[in-house]
């Protein structure tokens, strides 16, 4: 009964809608985090002027309290005349949390990446794109999967950076917080069970993807 009511709009809460918003937002953050982290890792393999300053700027948001970032982004959106929403201001706020971790992970990956593999591919006549697609990408694929999982999970359960930026509609952490401070309903326990099962499903899918990529690399 309570599981059936979980995704129906409640009188004092909207678990189904908030779950969908958190899931979609997590996917958006995951895709952008993987793409930007990969591009940043490739770019920082080359030395260029201002690289150090750009690096510290990229990771600066890690030392700023999350609630300050949330408040700042919310105020900026209001000042420029845009309404804060979970798919705009909250999306940007989450990226300030996930991108530094993704960039740091890819820096560590490329610091251990030997350029000899790329040189061998070029010696065999491969173009730059072929070298990236058939040599670099398969070798860093498990790390990219890890960055994607990291970005999704950080966004999915983020509370502080969403508090002032989600706008009218809540994400799942905000909805749960609002429900636990006002009223307790058995639907909350059903939601906890579903969320736990969903977390295990994400872990299993990630492990499956890593195993699949590893087997493909072994065959190559």
Nearest-angstrom CA–CA distance, 6 and 16: 6
pTM of the model: 0.85
Can you give the pLDDT at residue 26? 95
Measured between its terminal Cα atoms, the distance across the chain in Å is 51
Could you tell me the two tokens for 21? 């918003």
Give the model's pLDDT for residue 183. 62
Around 108, how many Cα atoms within 13 Å sit in the side-chain half-sphere? 9
**What pLDDT, on the 0 to 100 scale, is given for residue 35?**
96
The structural domain count of the chain equals 1
Domain that holds residue 178: 2-219
Q: Residue 11 — φ and ψ, nearest 5°?
A: -70, -30
pLDDT in tens, the chain (220 residues): 566 666 666 555 677 788 889 999 999 999 999 999 999 999 888 888 888 888 888 888 888 889 999 999 988 988 888 888 999 999 999 999 999 999 999 999 998 888 888 899 888 888 889 999 888 998 899 899 999 999 999 999 899 999 889 888 889 888 888 877 766 677 777 777 888 888 888 888 888 888 887 777 666 6
Please tell me the predicted confidence (pLDDT) of residue 104: 92
3-state secondary structure 153-210: HHHHCCCHHHHCCCCCCCCHHHHHHHHHHHCCCHHHHHHHHHHHHHHHHHHHHHHHHH
Predicted confidence at residue 72, as pLDDT, reads 92
Phi, psi of 33 (to 5 degrees): -65, -45
Which CATH number goes with the domain that contains 118?
Answer: 1.10.3720.10
């Amino acid at each position: 009964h309570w599981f059936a009511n979980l995704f129906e709009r409640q009188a004092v809460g909207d678990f189904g809608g908030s779950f969908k918003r958190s899931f979609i937002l997590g996917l958006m953050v995951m895709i952008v985090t993987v793409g930007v982290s990969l591009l940043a890792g490739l770019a920082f393999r080359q030395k260029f002027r201002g690289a150090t300053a750009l690096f510290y700027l990229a990771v600066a948001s890690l030392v700023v309290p999350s609630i300050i970032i949330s408040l700042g982004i919310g105020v900026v959106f209001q000042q420029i005349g845009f309404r804060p929403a979970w798919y705009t201001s909250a999306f940007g706020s989450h990226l300030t949390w996930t991108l530094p971790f993704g960039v740091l992970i890819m820096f560590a990956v490329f610091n251990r990446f030997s350029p000899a593999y790329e040189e061998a591919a070029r010696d065999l006549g491969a173009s730059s794109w072929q070298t990236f697609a058939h040599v670099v990408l398969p070798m860093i694929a498990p790390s990219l999967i890890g960055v994607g999982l990291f970005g999704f999970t950080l966004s999915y359960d983020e509370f502080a950076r969403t508090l002032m930026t989600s706008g009218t509609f809540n994400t799942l952490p905000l909805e749960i917080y609002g429900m636990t401070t006002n009223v307790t309903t058995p639907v909350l326990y059903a939601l906890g069970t579903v969320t736990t099962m969903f977390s295990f499903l994400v872990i299993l899918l990630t492990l499956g993807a890593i195993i699949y990529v590893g087997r493909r690399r072994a065959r190559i």
